Structure 1
Amino acid sequence: MNLESPIKTVNASPEKVYNFLMDIGNFEKLMPEDTKFEKISDERFLFALKGMPEIVLDLKEGTPYSEVVLGAASDKLAFTLTADINEIDEDETEVQLLFEGTFNAMMRMMIKGPITKFIATLSDNMDRIE
């Protein structure tokens, strides 16, 4: 299952966006309201969307100023969430979130709506990058 957020234009340099996303604690600022968030380490956090189980994400890799990849820590719900960062100019950046996972038909049906809404909210909240 592949999902994409809308492309969001952020008034910050690609370097600033990249550094913000590489700091796991900053994801709390992007989360939807009423989402449980817990930073576990500098490379891992836990979150829980309403009506869904807790999910632990690990910072998998970063390509300076162009990409940040997070991945599920559990094989039960294996997926990646990639932030694709593209420079418009030195103080303006486009960011798109890409969700990729392999799920059975039943699981896909259950999570598609909440995950689509989740990545759209993360994208909308990119304005909070400081």
Structure 2
Amino acid sequence: MNLETNKTVINKSQKEFFEFLSDLKNFKELMPENTDKFEVDGDSFLFSLKGMPEIRLVVKEKQEFDKIVLGAASSKLNFSLTAIINEVSENSCETQLLFEGDFNPMMAMMVKSPLQKFINTLTENASKL
């Protein structure tokens, strides 16, 4: 299952936004309002949204200054969340989130809409930085 957000302009330079996302504590600012739990532990963070199970994301890859890949810490759920960051000008960049998950058809049908809403919220909140 592949999902993506619209490209969104961020009022930070490409390097600034890359460094912002590289500090996992900053993801708390991007999370939806219904976040129940958010904890950073080294190269990973754990979060849960109201009524949903906890999810731990781990930094899998960083490509200065245009790409950060986060992946599931658990082998039970195989997915990744990639932030693509493109320079627009000296003081702004454009970002897009790409979600790639390997789910059975039933699970994919259940999680598609909430996941799309979640990644859209992350990019919307990033645009307000």
| TM-score tier (shorter) | over 0.9
Question: Aligned residues: percent identity?
Answer: 51
What runs of 5+ residues in structure 1 fail to find an aligned partner? none
SS in 2 for 1:45: strand
Q: Return the offset for 1:52.
A: 2.1
- Corresponding residue pairs, total: 129
Indicate if the aligned counterparts of 1:29 and 1:128 stay in contact, CA closer than 8 A. Answer: no
In the other structure, the counterpart of 1:92 is: 92
**Counterparts of residues 25-36 of structure 1 (less than 5 Å):** 25-36=25-36
Query: So what's the TM-score if we normalise by structure 2?
Result: 0.95
Is the 8 Å Cα contact of residues 67 and 85 (structure 1) preserved in structure 2?
yes
Whether the aligned pair in 1 keeps the contact of 2:38 and 2:48 (CA below 8 Å) is no
Separation in 2 of the partners of 1:56 and 1:128? 25
1:38-81 superposed Cα distances (whole Å, 9 cap, x missing partner): 22412111111233211110011111110011000011111000
C-alpha distance in structure 2 between counterparts of 1:50 and 1:78, whole Å: 22
The question of 1:13 aligning with 2:13 is answered yes
Query: What pairs up with 1:1-130 in 2 under 5 angstroms?
Result: 1-129=1-129
Structure 1 Cα separation of the partners of residues 50 and 102 of structure 2: 22
Give per-residue Cα distances to partners, 1:72-96, cap 9 Å, x unaligned: 0011111000000000111110000
Name structure 2 gaps, 5 residues minimum: none
TM-score when normalising by structure 1: 0.94
Residues in 2 aligned to 1:7 and 1:20: alpha-carbon distance in whole angstroms: 18
Runs of 4+ in 1 over 3 A off after TM superposition: none
